[in-house]
Amino acid sequence: MSYQALARKWRPRSFDEVVGQEHVVSALTNALDSQRVHHAYLFTGTRGVGKTTLARIFARALNCETGISASPCGNCNTCNSVDQGNYIDLIEVDAASRTRVDDTRELLDNVQYAPTQGRFKIYLIDEVHMLSAHSFNALLKTLEEPPPHVKFLLATTDPQKLPATILSRCIQFNLKSMDLEKLNTQLMKILQAEKIEFDADAIMVLSRSADGSVRDALSLLDQAIAFGNGTVRVDQVRSMLGMIDDQFTRELIEKVCARDGSGLMETVARMSERSLDYRSALDDILSTLHNAALYQVNPQAIEWKGVDRDAVAPVAELADAELLQLLFQIALIGKRDLGLAPDPRTGFEMILLRMSAFQPATNAQPAQELASKTAQTPNHPAAIQETHKKTVSRNTNPEQKTDASEAAASEKAAGSAMVTKTAFTLEMLASQAGWAEFVEGSGLSGIPRELVMNMIPRSLDGHHLHLVLDQTSRHLFNENRLKKIEQHCAQTLGLEIRLKLDVDDVEQEEAETPSQQKKRYANERQESAEQAFNQDQNVQTLVELFDAEIVPESIQPPAK
């Protein structure tokens, strides 16, 4: 017996077997049970979501020998003929191959004749948007006033290309892309029925790769079964799809955030030994960054997507929300331009190096620290430039400071970005101003920084500092992050400290968190800039002479 593809074998043959399109199934079954059947239906949606399948089930229900019902028997000659694709009163047309008006007229010439076997003559026109304008005109009259024995079932992936005159004469159903969780459940159900061993993680990978298409998912599943010699294992599936291992993805993002260019190239070299697809690798990185950003906003959102929280949490702690957005955007644009690179690996490496280079210095290594390292290398361009600056300054200013004072000023500037152990005391940390200053130079990044930015000190009892976390940020809190902040405070102060945290409305404390202060300062600077711009004499002259209009959003405060 010849093998039948899973997409054909498991194609639904009744409304009860249809998964994920409950809104369409409900409308069709109600219409059939109440005998209120319209003469034309339009099924729209992306590929592989069940447009043609639903149309065929509907055709069976209309012509089943037991009567019009939402539950056709499945055993009569009509039901069996529809399943086998040779029912004479179900005329299936592929509009993509019959776009000429002559083809459409030839098809419609037989509309007037009564059905041969069933109650209705049913025209199922797939990809109907491919018909020409003249073909639509030929179809329009029949669609507007069809004989009572004719039903039209139209299917398309692009309803925008259909004329409004056609759309207005059809009842339209928009089929949704399959939900990830439902698709995952359906694939596991099929494998269990087929008695095939599988890994749950492998099915999740296949479900994501199908992008909401049931047919694509079943085709990929067939391929995975053949690739795994009768089993479906996650490592084999990832290899089949050209995907990189999760460990590689996390490793690349860690090295990007740490600005470890050498480590990045080493990881890419290990990846290249497996002949992986670099575009798929970028997709994995983009997906991981997206999951990390969702996790920072609401960890439960990851569970809704069926992603393991324990796998996402370490990535979410590597960078703050702004950096994650920046890395995602660089990777996204890089994926678009990957085909322009001399070869895929070169393009992939440059995207990673770009992600590493274009990020705030505070995320991995302060700019001042980086500058001090380069300045120690005499032949480094940055060192040469710095030496040139000092030489010009000495020659043009006779009252130049001594070398000792220059070194002190440079050391002070370099140290302003990092908090030293002697910079703060417990008493200073317990004050609102001191806490804000500590947070600004703490060196924390990622979610721990977001947490401290939304905290204020409440009281100090010995070495126990009582903090309040604004309730709007409670989703970021867990005990491990509080321990990390506590260790950082202890290291900064050089003494033992214990943190106690309450979640409350900070406004009731009549205080501002560092995050609120930062926003207020930014708003004040923006308002000041707008006021200065509006009062500028040149601006007022332009407004008066040319009836100009000021766009507030275009006004930028001066750089600090």
User: Percentage of residues in the chain with pLDDT exceeding 90?
Assistant: 10
* Helix (H/G/I), strand (E/B), else coil: 356: helix
Whole-number Å distance between alpha carbons of 388 and 117: 95
Residues with Cβ within 8 Å of 374's Cβ and at least 6 positions away in sequence, in order, are: 380, 382, 383
CA atoms within 13 A on the CB side of 44: 13
CATH number of this structure's domain 426-512, picked from the four choices 3.50.50.60, 2.102.10.10, 3.30.300.150, 3.20.20.70: 3.30.300.150
CATH of domain 180-240: 1.10.8.60
Whole-number Å distance between alpha carbons of 96 and 366: 60
Q: Do residues 282 and 341 lie in contact, with contact meaning Cβ atoms separated by under 8 Å?
A: no
CATH number of this structure's domain 246-362, picked from the four choices 1.20.1250.30, 3.40.366.10, 1.20.272.10, 2.120.10.80: 1.20.272.10
Record the tokens describing residue 104, joined without a space: 């459409």
Position 409 confidence tier, pLDDT thresholds 50, 70, 90: very low
**Residue 196 reports pLDDT greater than 60:** yes
Q: Convert 533-547 into a string of H (helix), E (strand) and C (coil).
A: HHHCHHHHHHHHHHC
Amino acid identity of 284?
D
Whole-number Å distance between alpha carbons of 484 and 479: 9
Lowest-confidence region among 198-202, 237-241, 263-267, 413-417: 413-417
Whole-number Å distance between alpha carbons of 346 and 74: 57
Query: pTM for the whole thing?
Result: 0.57
pLDDT in tens, 4-56: 888 888 888 888 888 888 899 999 999 998 888 898 999 998 888 888 999 99
Contacts 24+ apart (CB under 8 A), 229-237: 230/196, 230/197, 231/196, 231/197, 231/198, 232/191, 232/196, 232/197, 232/198, 232/199, 232/202, 232/203, 232/206, 233/198, 233/199, 233/202, 234/199, 234/201, 234/202, 234/205, 236/202, 237/202, 237/205, 237/206
pLDDT in tens, 472-516: 887 778 888 888 888 888 887 777 888 888 888 777 767 788 888
DSSP 557: P
Sign, Cα dihedral of 249, 251, 252, 257: positive
Beginning with the edge strand found earlier in the chain, give each strand of the sheet holding 150-156 in spatial order.
90-94, 121-126, 150-156, 40-44, 171-174
Q: What is the mean pLDDT of residues 285-295?
A: 89
CATH of domain 6-174: 3.40.50.300
Name which residue leads in pLDDT, 381 or 69: 69
User: Percentage of residues in the chain with pLDDT exceeding 70?
Assistant: 86
Q: What is the overall mean pLDDT for the chain?
A: 80
Q: How many CB atoms lie within 10 A of CB 32?
A: 20
pLDDT in tens, 68-79: 888 888 888 888
